[in-house]
């Protein structure tokens, strides 16, 4: 998926996603927003309903998830290009253990155990659809949706937009900036984020701002107060991933970032409160 196949018509209800589901007065503590990475993935299998429940229990402001598309057109939550790490695909489909996620139908994915790899207590967890995951949150936390490998799924950004129609507090992001440029041009009212492996250059920040990006989300290893200021000067916010060590949490919070993505939202919440 490199370009939208035509104009993306966004329903009026989707424009409400620009408003956060949690007003500042409703957030449990001061400082940056606490974003649960793939759910509270240190304490539950990533990208599952159990991870959503745990993120809510740990008072996350938002939940970050990864979205891909099945062979029959369903949007599902999986991070990796294959199912080998986080499911029992090698046992259920031994000849297809390394096949891409998009080669499986939803019915086939329903047969997989997406929890046993994490712990015996998590056995039986299934790969949820995007709709099932958002229904589980029920507006109790915002949602940060990463388009995972979108070049493999032409048109997926349009499908994600319509799936999230009417949901408040949603941001769509990707490492694929070509796709995000197209997304921002076609649906400028939908908050968009650009992910970076390294430190974004001034030219990249200018490019993002010119395409209506609202969030710049690089690795925490490259984030400092100077970068946060550069991003803010262009009218955007800074998030960062994936911060799990308390000392790193304190350092990153001191830079003035707007949100921190972590596998351990309860730990981050405690650090911020302290």
Could you write out the DSSP letters of every residue in the chain?
Answer: --S-SS-----GGGGGGGS-SS-GGGSSSSSSEEEEETTTTTTS-TTSHHHHHHHHHTT-SEEEEEEEE-TTS-EEE--SSBSTTTS-HHHHSGGGTTSBGGGS-HHHHHTS-SSTTT-GGGTT--PPBHHHHHHHHTTSSEEEEEE-SGGGSTTHHHHHHHHTTT-SSEEEEES-HHHHHHHHHH-TTS-EEEEESSPPPHHHHHHHHHTT--EEEEBGGG--HHHHHHHHHTT-EEEEB---SHHHHHHHHHTT-SEEEES-HHHHHHHHH-
Task: Check if 211 is active-site.
Answer: no
List the catalytic residue out of 37, 74, 177, 211. 37
Q: How far apart are CA 35 and CA 11, in angstroms?
A: 27
79 is catalytic: yes
Could you say which of 74, 79, 177, 211 is catalytic?
Answer: 79
Catalytic residues: 37, 79
């Amino acid at each position: 998926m490199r370009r939208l196949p035509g104009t993306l018509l966004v329903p009026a209800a989707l424009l409400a996603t620009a408003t956060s589901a949690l007003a500042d007065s409703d957030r449990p503590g001061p400082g940056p927003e606490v974003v649960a990475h793939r759910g509270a993935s240190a304490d539950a299998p990533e990208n599952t309903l159990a991870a959503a429940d745990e993120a809510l229990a740990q008072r996350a402001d938002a939940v970050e998830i990864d979205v891909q598309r099945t062979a029959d057109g369903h949007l599902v939550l999986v991070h990796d290009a294959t199912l080998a790490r986080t499911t029992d695909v090698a046992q259920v489909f031994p000849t297809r253990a390394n096949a891409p996620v998009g080669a499986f139908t939803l019915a086939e994915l329903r047969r997989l155990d997406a929890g046993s790899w994490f712990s015996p207590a998590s056995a039986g967890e299934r790969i949820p659809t995007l709709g099932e995951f958002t229904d589980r949150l029920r507006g109790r936390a915002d949602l940060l949706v990463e388009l995972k490998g979108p070049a493999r799924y032409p048109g997926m950004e349009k499908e994600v937009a319509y799936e999230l129609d009417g949901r408040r507090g949603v941001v769509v992001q990707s490492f694929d900036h070509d796709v995000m440029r197209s997304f921002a041009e076609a649906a400028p009212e939908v908050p968009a984020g650009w992910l970076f492996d390294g430190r974004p250059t001034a030219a990249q920040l200018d490019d993002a701002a010119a395409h209506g990006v609202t969030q710049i989300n690089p690795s925490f290893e490259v984030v400092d107060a100077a970068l946060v200021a550069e991003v803010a000067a262009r009218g955007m916010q800074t998030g960062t991933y994936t911060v799990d060590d308390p000392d790193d949490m304190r350092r990153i919070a001191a830079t003035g970032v707007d949100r921190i993505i972590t596998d351990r939202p309860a730990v981050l919440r405690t650090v911020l409160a302290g």
